Chain A
Amino acid sequence: MPPSAVPEAQVQVLFHIPEGSTSLRRVHNKAIVSSSPSAGHPIKQHTVIAAQDLRKTYGDLAAVDGISFSVAAGESFGLLGPNGAGKSTTMKMIGAVTQRTSGQLSIMGLDPDSHGPEVRANLGVVPQQDNLDEELRVRDNLLVYGRYFGLPMSYLKPKADELLEFAQLTDKAKSKVDALSGGMKRRLTIARSLINEPRILLLDEPTTGLDPQARHILWDRLFRLKEQGVTLILTTHYMDEAEQLCDRLIVVDKGRIMAEGSPAQLIREHSTREVLELRFGSERNTTVGADLQGIGERLEALPDRVLIYAHDGEAALEEVTSRGLRPLTSLVRRSSLEDVFLRLTGRSLVD
């Protein structure tokens, strides 16, 4: 489908302005700055996904409450937010498996509500919950899935072997699926999603529930896909994952977009360079705040720790000790998207 099939308005309108909150309006303004072409934003590029004021309600509950974004070909785009933020629902609408309640959505220039099979033919999907065919063997899972796209066996057989190689599962080709570890199943699901050589890959929390080693293997595979020019759309509630994989992301909370930009941009705009984490013991974390006033640019007292946002974390720590305060532990680290989220919503990403 040619890019011209995407209505101009959908490409141009990148943000829905949430009404009321001034802080949200500020976020909106900053995001516009970040989305100017000079900042590398893909306005001029081939837009593969355009959403405008997208909304999905279940009864009274608005799972997705008017979000707008666009994704360019080859871009790696993330939806970051806590559980229940509306990420998965958004992915289902993009994946043309759930109809939107209102708003505009176009995938490769097609409306998923009226062109479901055509939209899905363009996609590879890695769902949050594995739904591999446990009764079939590993390689057969790939073959069977390829058949759903009408692909001939002459193409599928070599392609399945190639994808097993890519997913580092060649020696498991004849195993039963339930004999695989969680990480292997995840990689098989990714291999399966690539059987039709999709232009867009949707990954819904691809590494949730995996151990660190399995996550790193998976990130490596996804990074290779990105290098090959596959458009990646992924949801995650891990900030390190978003930082590793996403060129650009939206921070979503309660079905709305809180901020948008590259991970570095978001950190720059919504946090300081470094963070000093102090633990005074659960009794004192919330009461010690008064003694820490004036150190760093901002202070966040959480039940388990106190966060001091500062340009120079070591200097802030010296200031703390010079005031005679003796934290049980202290840690200076770089700001992360977790801090951005905390700043924007007042809550942690992973509860």
Chain B
Amino acid sequence: MTEDAALTATAARAHSPEVSAARARRWGAFYYAEQVLRVMKGYGWSILMYSVGQPVAYLFAMGVGLATLVDAEDAGAFGGVSYLAFIAPALLVSAAVMTAANEFTFPVMGGFKWRRTYYGPHASPLTPEQIAAGQIIAVTLRLLLQSAIYFAAVALFGASPSGWGWAGIVVATLAGLAFGLPLMAYSASIREDKGQFALVMRFIVMPLFLFSGTFFPLDTLPWAVRWIGWISPIWHGTELGRVFSYGYQEPPVLTVIHFVVLMALAALGWVLTRRQFVRRLGQ
């Protein structure tokens, strides 16, 4: 009896279904983003330690260790800047791409298959598009935060001579999405886990990381493998980051192309992801 009394004695009533639906139609993606961020908060410390620890370790190893050797050998090889200033934008972009590669693989597969977390909100007023968009919004926020921390470390190491270096935060996030969203569409299409993600990491992410003009300019590579850079979001992001970070000289049209390629990859990834979510959740 007491429970029944408690049930009827609720002070506030839920708003009407019409209001729920109207709000969900408008803000649904953000509602789902809120859920993803709450889950992320559960392992917030490890996200933070990773975001701080990774740049410090890389910048220290490359900037203090390797750079001493490289700069002593040939100071002019990297367009007149220190080796550390040369690789810092590349490391920033690569870190964002790798985080995106993690966030848009296992959690997406898990949402459909293992934990089935997408099916709960799918029964609510949210639409499949909004669930996909919400996850992307949450990951974008994580990428921005992580890149901001990374950039702070770069600045502390004195590796961002220009006053525009902070724009690298946005560039890295965009590069993360340019790589991550097509990958998200792929993850959403996988029915059985047969180790595809390990292959993606080993045979796509790693080669892109190594051959995207990260540690040496792309034009020092033979023509045969230079195409890897051209199709790589890491290369486009890195070159764009360098323009902001230390005023790297390249034809302006190339700068525009970098931006357009990143935007186009992200947009294509979004269209494919949305289609996969609508199709798979609606079955």
* Most chain A C-beta atoms within 10 Å of own C-beta, residue among B7, B8, B20, B119: B20
- Return chain A residues, CB-CB under 8 Å to B7: 162, 166, 228
State the CA gap A335–B6 with chains docked (Å).
39
- Return chain B residues, CB-CB under 8 Å to A115: 21
Residue of A at shortest CB range from B16?
Answer: A121
* Contact of A131 with B119 in the complex, beta carbons under 8 Å: yes
Known: A158-B12, A224-B4. A131 touches B116 (CB 8 A): yes
State the CA gap A80–B200 with chains docked (Å).
46
Write the A138-176 contact mask toward B (1 if CB under 8 angstroms, else 0). 001000110111110011001100100110000000000
Residue of B at shortest CB range from A221?
Answer: B3
* Contact of B12 with A154 in the complex, beta carbons under 8 Å: yes
Q: Is B68 an interface residue (CB 8 A)?
A: no
Stretch of B23-31, B52-60, B95-103, B255-263 with 4 or more beta carbons under 8 angstroms from chain A: B23-31
- Return chain A residues, CB-CB under 8 Å to B127: 116-117
Minimum Cβ distance to chain B for residue A49 (Å)? 14
Interface of B is mostly: helix
Minimum Cβ distance to chain A for residue B111 (Å)? 10
Write the B133-162 contact mask toward A (1 if CB under 8 angstroms, else 0). 000000000000000000000000000000
Residue positions of A touching B, CB distance < 8 A? 95, 97-99, 108, 115-118, 120-123, 125, 127, 129, 131-136, 140, 144-145, 147-151, 154-155, 158-159, 162, 165-166, 192, 195-199, 224, 228
- Return chain A residues, CB-CB under 8 Å to B22: 150
- Interface residues in B1-22 by Cβ distance below 8 A to A read 3-4, 6-8, 10-15, 17-22
Interface of A is mostly: loop
- Return chain A residues, CB-CB under 8 Å to B39: 133, 135-136
Q: Can you show 5 pairs from A to B with CB atoms below 8 A apart? A: A129-B119, A133-B35, A136-B39, A148-B32, A149-B24
* Contact of B11 with A131 in the complex, beta carbons under 8 Å: no
* Most chain B C-beta atoms within 10 Å of own C-beta, residue among A117, A151, A154: A117
Q: Is B202 an interface residue (CB 8 A)?
A: no
State the CA gap A192–B123 with chains docked (Å).
11
Residue of B at shortest CB range from A163?
Answer: B7
State the CA gap A158–B12 with chains docked (Å).
9
- Return chain B residues, CB-CB under 8 Å to A129: 116, 119
- Return chain B residues, CB-CB under 8 Å to A154: 12
Q: Is B282 an interface residue (CB 8 A)?
A: yes
* Contact of B124 with A133 in the complex, beta carbons under 8 Å: no
Minimum Cβ distance to chain A for residue B151 (Å)? 29
State the CA gap A158–B9 with chains docked (Å).
11
Minimum Cβ distance to chain B for residue A112 (Å)? 11
Residue of A at shortest CB range from B14?
Answer: A197
Minimum Cβ distance to chain A for residue B97 (Å)? 25
- Among A133, A134, A144, A149, point to the contact of B20 (Cβ < 8 A): A149
Q: Is B120 an interface residue (CB 8 A)?
A: yes
